[in-house]
Structure 1
Amino acid sequence: MADHRDGLPQGKTGNLLDRSAATPDTFQDPGLPPHRPRSTDVAPGPAKRAERQVALLFAVSIIGSILFFVGYFGVRVDGDIYAVTDNAPTAALRLQNLLLGGGIALGMLGIGVGVVHWARTLMPDHELVEERHDVVTEAQRADAEQIVDTILDESGIKRRPLIRNTLIGAAVIAPLPFVGLLRDLGPLNLTPLRHTLWEEGVRLVRDPSGTPIMASDVTLGSTFHVLPENLSGLSHDEGYLDEKAKAVVLLMRLDPDTVNVSPEREDWNVDGIFAYSKVCTHVGCPIALYEQHTHHLLCPCHQSTFDLADECRVIFGPASRPLPQLPISVDADGYLVARSDFHEPVGPSYSQRIIAVNEMAEENAN
């Protein structure tokens, strides 16, 4: 009579999970499942069709990489992309972004899907079991070389020049867009970050209208996105966007009694009106959020937070340096103007920054 509580005969005890008493014959090796050939293995028509499909996917990758370079070098974004009266620069920017993003996507997707489709339809899919071993002897190295040759033969890359040639073309061209993107990170010495268009007497103007700002326009708690007035004279070919990205400034007015000002910066503000670089010192994202009650500036990219009341000291987040302050004053007409350029490089830290800071300090001293 069986004991249904543990599955053992009556009078027997034991642990069903205990395999110490199991013998090699207890579990039989089921072996490999029967091989089911694909249509491409038994008929030349489907195989040829699959070959053309793989080559087409690699060709799509090549076309995508070419589209990237068309957008990168062929589409020009001239003028102010924020202009209200003329949307041509904005349309050009959208077209360029479409070609850049779509080109990279097609370049990577074509290679990836093409290789997967190649492996699933044309490469051998027979099952096998092979023991791994260390390659130590010359004979074993020769065996390993033979295995590689076998893999190349089975992949069909020698017998299918169409796939081979399109794959080589796609593999060569696909990484080139990333070289172009790395070029946009700027020169290796990063000397352009040392100076901006700000200089003594340059008026502060609103972004994007370009109208000058009077000290009386800046009320307590207000915020302005500011550019140098001399930026409007630059064209796209003369580096308009690059100079704008470096020179953009946030202008705010605080109660002077609530602000901590260093002795060397006492004349850098106008009755509590302060100007700080809008470029985050972490990775260069634009500072865009201002908490009026706490006087905190927040970077939306990685949440670095700067205390405006304490010379934009970092109080939270990955940024390691305060935002550079732009010294300002008022001209004879009551408009806010810059006293000088920034006294330190704007933007994120980089390896040569200490050298640049020392050189700029010498320039300001002279």
Structure 2
Amino acid sequence: MDGHGHDEPVDENLPERDDLYANPGVHEHLWRPTDVDPKAEKRAERQVATLFTLSALCTVLFVVCYVVVGPDETLAGFGAQNLLFGLTLAGALLFLGIGIIQWARKLMADQEIVEYRHPARSSDEDRATTIEALNTGIGESGIGRRPLVRNSLLGAAGLLGVPAVVMLRDLGPTNAQVTENPPFPGSGITNTIWDKGMRVVRDVVGTPIRPEDMQIGDLINGEPEGIYVSPWDGEPLEGVALQVNKSKGAVVLVKMEPEEIIPGTGRENWSVDGILCYSKICTHVGCPISLYERTTHHLLCPCHQSTFDLADSARVVFGPAARPLPQLALAVDADGYLVAQSDFDEPVGPSFWERG
């Protein structure tokens, strides 16, 4: 029918559909050399096994590089260990992949199959046929009657798990080992660099804060002064020590009317003139928080919308976070600057297996 609902005329001179789309048929099948020549088949089998063996050798070399090459050594201007890790692991995967491709191209059954479209849900007969074809394919792959290929494949693929196990060693020492022998102040997952008398300073600029510097409704992003002047040697922290302590020690300071504060049990003296201090790290998955609504005293995490009531010990009022933000007890030193009374009384950040 046309666009107005009328029947369109049919040209009777048009040829039948079968004349327009003649069946081209299937071209004559060309057999591979390995299908007709036993020597070529054996040669291809050895090639595939050699590729699998090279993959296994690269995996072994990965472990050797881990043991022999130190993390500080260089090669051609690059870190030698990482460079060799990349080359050996890439070689293991590359040779394994090429071997599988060669196996499929040269040794697995070579058949041409024509299959017509069928409904989305296959019939029971088709399903049974598929399972039968799958079993046939497994048989035709030759994995059962080609032990050299099978064993070299299993060896290469099995050894690929070794680098993952070896690299687990680089996860670092346990928390108990770090606590017993800390490499720098604030190391470990159960404590931070905060300590009694340490000043709260503004993030980035590092200037200390007096209570009178803040107005009602203010929020200030803060850091422990210890990241700028180490409590161990008086020198600024650098490298890993600096990054760890900046991430763990980050806090937010807020000021509200003192009568609006609902202190937790034992926290009656943790604020100074209505100024409260909490960890900046969300207790859900560790995102940094600083979205503050001054009228409700709610602090919102931008990642997953966990919301904390800072007037009520950072109680969770919405979202997936399961614990309040850890609170840092504040005091004022002899020079009138805000300082910590101690470290946090609980670990900061998201929960973990050792946390109560």
> Does the CA contact (< 8 Å) of 2:59 and 2:89 recur in 1?
no
> Does the CA contact (< 8 Å) of 1:41 and 1:47 recur in 2?
no
> Does the CA contact (< 8 Å) of 2:48 and 2:103 recur in 1?
no
The CA distance in 2 between the partners of 1:316 and 1:107, in whole Å, is 50
> Does the CA contact (< 8 Å) of 1:62 and 1:174 recur in 2?
no
**CA RMSD of the aligned region, Å?**
5.1
Task: Give the drift of 1:278.
Answer: 2.0
Structure 1 pair 130–248 and aligned structure 2 pair: CA distance change class (3 A): closer
Which of the residues 74, 81, 85 maps onto 2:71? 74
Alignment correspondent of 1:360? none
Alignment correspondent of 2:318? 316
Alignment correspondent of 1:117? 101
1:119-170 Cα deviation digits (max 9, x unpaired): 53355135797977xxxxxxxxxxxxxx8x96254475269x6x77755554
1:22-70 Cα deviation digits (max 9, x unpaired): xxxxxxxxxxxx987557756859958984996699489859978x979
Structure 1 pair 349–56 and aligned structure 2 pair: CA distance change class (3 A): same
Structure 1 pair 199–56 and aligned structure 2 pair: CA distance change class (3 A): same
The CA distance in 1 between the partners of 2:352 and 2:257, in whole Å, is 34
> Does the CA contact (< 8 Å) of 2:59 and 2:92 recur in 1?
no
Alignment correspondent of 1:291? 292
The CA distance in 1 between the partners of 2:219 and 2:177, in whole Å, is 34
User: TM-score normalized by structure 2?
Assistant: 0.58
The CA distance in 2 between the partners of 1:104 and 1:187, in whole Å, is 32
Task: Give the drift of 1:203.
Answer: 0.7
Whether 1:216 and 2:237 are equivalent positions in the alignment is no
Secondary structure at the aligned position of 1:276 is classed as: strand
Secondary structure at the aligned position of 1:251 is classed as: strand
Which of the residues 139, 143, 151 maps onto 1:151? 143
Which of the residues 139, 162, 171 maps onto 1:172? 162
Which amino acid is 1:124 matched to? M
The CA distance in 1 between the partners of 2:53 and 2:305, in whole Å, is 44
Structure 1 pair 250–167 and aligned structure 2 pair: CA distance change class (3 A): same
> Does the CA contact (< 8 Å) of 2:96 and 2:156 recur in 1?
no
The CA distance in 1 between the partners of 2:311 and 2:87, in whole Å, is 46
Structure 1 pair 189–322 and aligned structure 2 pair: CA distance change class (3 A): farther
Alignment correspondent of 1:347? 349
Secondary structure at the aligned position of 1:151 is classed as: coil
The CA distance in 1 between the partners of 2:266 and 2:178, in whole Å, is 27
Secondary structure at the aligned position of 1:202 is classed as: coil
Which of the residues 197, 204, 207 maps onto 2:200? 204
> Does the CA contact (< 8 Å) of 1:38 and 1:121 recur in 2?
no
Structure 1 pair 272–37 and aligned structure 2 pair: CA distance change class (3 A): farther
> Does the CA contact (< 8 Å) of 2:175 and 2:189 recur in 1?
no
Alignment correspondent of 2:4? none
Instruction: Name stretches of at least 5 consecutive residues in structure 2 with no aligned partner.
Output: 1-27, 74-78, 114-128, 133-138, 180-187
Alignment correspondent of 1:307? 309
Task: Give the drift of 1:347.
Answer: 2.6
Instruction: Name stretches of at least 5 consecutive residues in structure 1 with no aligned partner.
Output: 1-33, 77-94, 133-146, 355-366
The CA distance in 1 between the partners of 2:102 and 2:173, in whole Å, is 36
> Does the CA contact (< 8 Å) of 1:124 and 1:154 recur in 2?
no
Task: Give the drift of 1:204.
Answer: 1.0
Secondary structure at the aligned position of 1:275 is classed as: strand
Secondary structure at the aligned position of 1:74 is classed as: coil
Structure 1 pair 173–203 and aligned structure 2 pair: CA distance change class (3 A): same
Counterparts of residues 142-291 of structure 1 (less than 5 Å):
151-154=143-146, 156-157=148-149, 167=157, 169-177=159-167, 179-180=168-169, 183=171, 186-187=174-175, 192-232=188-228, 233=230, 235=237, 239-262=241-264, 264-283=266-285, 285-291=286-292
The CA distance in 1 between the partners of 2:255 and 2:57, in whole Å, is 55
Which amino acid is 1:173 matched to? P
% identical aligned pairs? 36
Which of the residues 336, 339, 351 maps onto 2:338? 336
Task: Give the drift of 1:237.
Answer: 8.0
Structure 1 pair 117–340 and aligned structure 2 pair: CA distance change class (3 A): same
> Does the CA contact (< 8 Å) of 2:330 and 2:338 recur in 1?
yes
Structure 1 pair 51–228 and aligned structure 2 pair: CA distance change class (3 A): same
The CA distance in 2 between the partners of 1:154 and 1:130, in whole Å, is 24
Alignment correspondent of 1:82? none
Task: Give the drift of 1:215.
Answer: 2.3
Which amino acid is 2:108 matched to? P
Structure 1 pair 171–324 and aligned structure 2 pair: CA distance change class (3 A): closer
Secondary structure at the aligned position of 1:337 is classed as: strand
Structure 1 pair 171–195 and aligned structure 2 pair: CA distance change class (3 A): closer
